[in-house]
Amino acid sequence: MGNNSIFGAMAAATQGMNAQSTRLKIVSENLSNADTHGYHRKLITFQNTYDNQAKMNVLSIGDITLDQTKGDVEFNPAHPLSNAQGYVELSNVNMMVEMADARQASRSYEANLTTFKQARNMYSGLLDLLRR
The residue extents of the domains of the chain are 6-67+94-131
Give residue-wise pLDDT tens across range 37-89: 999 999 999 999 888 887 788 888 999 999 999 999 999 999 999 999 999 99
Give residue-wise pLDDT tens across range 100-128: 999 999 999 999 999 999 999 988 888 88
Q: Where are the alpha helices (DSSP H) in the chain?
A: 6-32, 95-131
State yes or no: pLDDT of 2 exceeds 50. Answer: no
pTM (2 decimals)?
0.82
Residues in Cβ contact with 24 at an 8 Å cutoff, skipping those fewer than 6 apart: 102, 105, 106, 109
Residues in Cβ contact with 122 at an 8 Å cutoff, skipping those fewer than 6 apart: 6
